[in-house]
Structure 1
Amino acid sequence: MTNHSAATPLRTPPAIIAGIIAVSAAASAFICWLVYFHTPTDVAGTQLRSLPLVNAVLNACSTVALLTGYRFIKARNVAAHRTAMFTAFFFSSIFLVSYLVNFALHGETKFNRLSAWWPFYWKLLASHIVLSVFALPMILITFFLSLTGRFPAHRRLARYTYPIWLYVSITGVIVYWMQSAIH
């Protein structure tokens, strides 16, 4: 057993980071398959039609928890920050499950390409999708660093993870709103 002093920072095992990235890549590949290749099981939309609204609410709850967590860490209230971030992680995790169920059942929501909002919508959606792919491993690694006491590394990565996660959460709500308003 190694005794780590405050002067000796804990090193992050590369295998764990590689594993998190591999799991994240597999999850992203599964979502890609689900969105673009899987045939929806309820094309008529008769089952769980409220899932897109549930997803938007979960994203909004994650956003509130993220903003609250940021406020707490700025006030140096680490315990409250941790609780808020676990809350954001909880809502984002439930969102991911609900999102997958929605896509498995209903497939992709089509947006009217003739709408005046189309140029803004597709750019927003594209940035949301690309950043969500990067957010997943970043969130998991940031949590790993915190949970294992690697706080300097946690803080360094959280500076990038937080704004990306916040952007993905907020744009998820905006994408839902645009789809429901135009659709």
Structure 2
Amino acid sequence: MESTQSTKHGIRKLIIALSIIIPLAVAALFKIKIGGVDLSFLPAIYACINGITAILLILALVAIKKKKISLHEGIIKICMVLSALFLVCYIAYHMTSDPTLYGDSNGNGELEMFELASISAASKITYYLILISHIILSVAVVPLVLFSYLYAWEGKYDKHRKLTKFTWPIWFYVAATGVIVYIMISPYYAHS
């Protein structure tokens, strides 16, 4: 019993550590640039991963509403793997590519007057609101997903249900807005 408690306590500490380390590592890795590697194909792939994750999250919700617990669990595991794969692709792309600016149609890394004039203030505000909320919630979703999964794994279904009322919509929002951000920025990738 004591070793089980110790294991559970260790898992909780690991989740907290990962929830801090992952965003810090991503931020730190953005400072590292590896030249000579072309991973320009990755944004389309990780946008697809986000889209598939969003669809699977809907299917997982439907499965649990229909009391298909094993199906729900399997889909959630796939979503977790996809989210980890997304993170790897996202980091790899950003470590090998210059940032892409929204509206930078000539791909020179600067927004010039003609580029600023060609994008509406509304589309720019919309893009940055979606992007900022996406980034903030992607940090928050890590502990939410991991603790939600842990509670189900431990058989603490009341805690699992209570937490997933917050976790599911945030995870879905992060996945869906990942696709929207890609669609909005993708016209500027071709020139970067």
TM-score using structure 2 length = 0.81
Is 1:169 the counterpart of 2:169? The answer is no
One of 6, 9, 23 as aligned partner of 1:28: 23
Q: What are the Cα deviations for residues 40-95 of structure 1, in whole angstroms up to 9, with x where unaligned? A: 223x7x51211000000100111111000000011111111111111111111111
- Aligned identity (percent) is 30
Question: CA shift at 1:146, angstroms?
Answer: 1.3
**Alignment partner, residue 7 of structure 1:** none
Distance in 1 (CA, whole Å) between partners of 2:93 and 2:124 is 23
Is 1:130 the counterpart of 2:129? The answer is no
Distance in 2 (CA, whole Å) between partners of 1:159 and 1:72 is 15
CA contact (8 A) 2:39 2:92 kept: no
Distance in 1 (CA, whole Å) between partners of 2:40 and 2:188 is 17
Secondary structure of residue in 2 paired with 1:68? helix
**Alignment partner, residue 93 of structure 1:** 84
**Alignment partner, residue 71 of structure 2:** 80
CA contact (8 A) 1:135 1:165 kept: yes
Is 1:40 the counterpart of 2:33? The answer is yes
Question: CA shift at 1:13, angstroms?
Answer: 4.9
Shift in alpha-carbon separation, 1:182–1:104, aligned structure 2, 3 A: closer
TM-score using structure 1 length = 0.85
**Alignment partner, residue 143 of structure 1:** 149
Aligned residues: CA RMSD: 2.1
Distance in 1 (CA, whole Å) between partners of 2:51 and 2:24 is 25
Query: How many correspondences in the alignment?
Result: 171
Question: CA shift at 1:109, angstroms?
Answer: 2.3
**Alignment partner, residue 118 of structure 1:** 124
Secondary structure of residue in 1 paired with 2:40? coil
CA contact (8 A) 1:59 1:173 kept: yes
Q: Which runs of 5+ in 2 are unaligned?
A: 104-110
**Alignment partner, residue 187 of structure 2:** 181
CA contact (8 A) 2:152 2:160 kept: yes
Q: Which runs of 5+ in 1 are unaligned?
A: 3-9
